[in-house]
């Protein structure tokens, strides 16, 4: 029965076709890319190659080009507005035509920017969720690998202890019966063989790459990325709200300050757009075919064989379990030890009562070892680690990539809205009515009527005959 369970555990699942982790990923069309010499670059993910790095830098440069063109357009528009404005007729009190359209276009642009801010918050949250899923999968994989090493070490130590103490004591007790001593030595050889086979199952022991360290590094970078985007979103939200407040209050100084801040946020939006676009392009290339790149990278970092890496990263019926032979030999050796101990208990205990205690101790050690062995078989199966691999890819290539696309849309809406606002705000504050200097000095508009009344000359009173004082 145990041999049948071992055979089922070490074989890949035969219920249906194995599902590779890449099958869960969304694959979109690959955009053409080129290096600095405008030569086409293959779409495969190769960050170590100089041509691919140049292609990603060229994507960032396109965002810089967009920033330069938008700044030139804004400067030309404002110069034309300031220098080519027709002179107002003297004594004109009505605002020039089109003033209301300018103000409402600025308000509409700011509202579009606020909509982009909401999209940015959602994209930032999605990206953070995807990276958190990646970190969680790496930590769970590290827990599995650590548990494998711990179980192997515990079983090897138990078997070595049994060989040094119980089996040695049993040989000393059974020295008068050579056939019983031979059976005891056979159990010793089987235990040593099991310990030797088990030591080869701790494949991750001594590997310099630590998944939990990678997870901590990723979480550290993600924490600061998330905080930077929250500050950028809050800054743009404050700029939009205070600009709307300045337009509502017709406060010229507030609108001027927010115009300068809008220019700063415009530069930040184009910069974040370049980083988001380059990251999205690289991540899309990686997610189109992640298995090959991860296999090669893990082989270089860990030095593990291709058979082990293919088994855990692919986990299909075409790849056999590289530990199946060791597990089968260990299972057979444990079964042989168990049968030999039962034979010794039947033959030796009636003649040598002192042999019962080491035999019972050996039986207990063997039962614990068999329980740990079945747990080790389950951990060594590719299902667990491949599930973590699939969860990491889904977090990175679905949630994180989707969040990056939403952040890219936020940057695009933000750049367009701020560029429109920068073109409209100077025309809007030019339509504000001028402040009365005397009113601003007095501190209240309520004092203006009294001030005018005080400055008007007092007319002379008319004298009526009936009002003259009579002499006494």
Predicted pLDDT of residue 271 = 94
- For 172-315, strand residue ranges (E) read none
- Least Cα distance to 334 among 274, 377, 302, 395 occurs for 377
- Residue 86 confidence (pLDDT): 55
- Range list of H helices, 84-98: none
Residue 371, sorted as left (phi over 0), alpha (psi -120 to 50) or beta, turns out to be: alpha
Interatomic CA distance for residues 355 and 242, integer angstroms: 90
- 423 in Cβ contact with 77 (< 8 Å): yes
Q: Tokens at residue 297, please? A: 């990278």
CB burial readout 194-231, b (16+ within 10 A) else e: bbebbeebbbbeeeeeebbebbeebbeebeebbeebee
pLDDT tens digits for the chain (472 residues)? 344 334 434 444 433 333 444 444 444 445 555 555 556 566 677 788 888 888 888 889 999 999 999 999 988 888 887 776 555 555 545 555 445 677 788 888 889 999 999 999 999 999 999 999 999 999 999 999 999 999 999 999 999 988 888 888 888 888 888 888 888 888 889 999 999 999 989 999 888 889 999 999 999 999 999 999 999 999 999 999 999 898 888 888 888 899 899 999 999 999 999 999 999 988 988 998 899 899 999 999 888 989 999 999 998 888 889 999 999 999 999 999 888 888 888 888 888 888 888 888 888 999 999 999 999 999 999 999 999 999 999 999 999 999 999 999 999 999 999 999 888 887 776 666 666 544 444 444 433 333 343 334 444 444 444 444 444 4
> Residue 40 forms beta bridges with which residues?
34
d(CA 121, CA 230): 7
Cα–Cα distance measured from residue 320 to residue 70, given in angstroms and rounded to the nearest whole number = 58
Give residue for tokens 């642009």.
109
Distance CA 54, CA 303 (A): 30
What are the sequence ranges of the domains in the chain?
A: 54-82+102-430
Can you give the pLDDT at residue 239? 93
pTM value is 0.79
């Amino acid at each position: 029965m145990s041999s049948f369970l071992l055979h089922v555990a070490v074989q890949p699942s035969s219920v249906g076709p194995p599902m590779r982790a890449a099958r869960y990923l969304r694959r979109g069309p690959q955009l053409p890319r080129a290096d600095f010499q405008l030569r086409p670059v293959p779409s495969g993910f190769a960050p170590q190659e100089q041509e691919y790095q140049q292609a990603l830098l060229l994507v960032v440069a396109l965002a810089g080009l967009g920033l330069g063109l938008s700044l030139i357009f804004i400067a030309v528009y404002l110069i034309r507005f300031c220098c080519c404005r027709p002179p107002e007729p003297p004594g004109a009190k009505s605002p020039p035509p089109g003033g209301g359209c300018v103000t409402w276009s600025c308000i509409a642009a700011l509202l579009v920017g606020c909509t982009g801010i909401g999209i940015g918050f959602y994209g930032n949250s999605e990206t953070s969720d995807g990276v958190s899923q990646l970190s969680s999968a790496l930590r769970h994989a590290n827990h599995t690998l650590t548990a494998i090493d711990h179980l192997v070490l515990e079983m090897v130590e138990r078997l070595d202890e049994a060989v040094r103490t119980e089996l040695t004591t049993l040989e000393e007790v059974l020295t008068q019966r050579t056939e019983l001593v031979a059976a005891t030595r056979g159990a010793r050889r089987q235990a040593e063989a099991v310990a030797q086979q088990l030591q080869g199952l701790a494949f991750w022991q001594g590997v310099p790459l630590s998944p939990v360290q990678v997870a901590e590094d990723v979480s550290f970078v993600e924490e600061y990325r998330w905080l930077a985007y929250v500050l950028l979103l809050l800054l743009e939200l404050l700029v939009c709200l205070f600009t709307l407040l300045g337009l509502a209050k017709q406060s010229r100084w507030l609108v001027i300050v927010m115009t300068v801040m809008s220019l700063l946020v415009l530069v930040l939006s184009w910069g974040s757009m370049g980083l988001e676009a380059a990251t999205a392009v690289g991540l899309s290339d990686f997610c189109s075919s992640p298995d090959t790149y991860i296999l090669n990278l893990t082989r270089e970092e860990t030095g593990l064989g291709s058979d082990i890496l293919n088994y855990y990263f692919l986990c299909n019926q075409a790849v056999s379990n590289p530990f199946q032979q060791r597990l089968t030999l260990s299972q057979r050796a444990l079964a042989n030890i168990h049968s030999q101990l039962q034979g010794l208990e039947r033959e030796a205990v009636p003649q040598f009562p002192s042999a019962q205690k080491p035999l019972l101790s050996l039986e207990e050690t063997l039962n614990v070892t068999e329980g740990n062995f079945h747990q080790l078989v389950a951990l060594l199966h590719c299902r667990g680690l491949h599930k973590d691999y699939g969860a990491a890819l889904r977090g990175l290539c679905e949630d994180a990539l989707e969040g990056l696309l939403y952040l890219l849309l936020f940057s695009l809406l933000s750049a367009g809205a701020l560029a429109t606002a920068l073109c409209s705000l100077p025309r809007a504050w030019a339509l504000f009515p001028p402040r009365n200097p005397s009113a601003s000095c007095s501190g209240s508009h309520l004092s203006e009527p009294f001030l005018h009344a005080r400055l008007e000359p007092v007319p002379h009173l008319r004298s009526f005959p009936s009002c003259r004082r009579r002499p006494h």
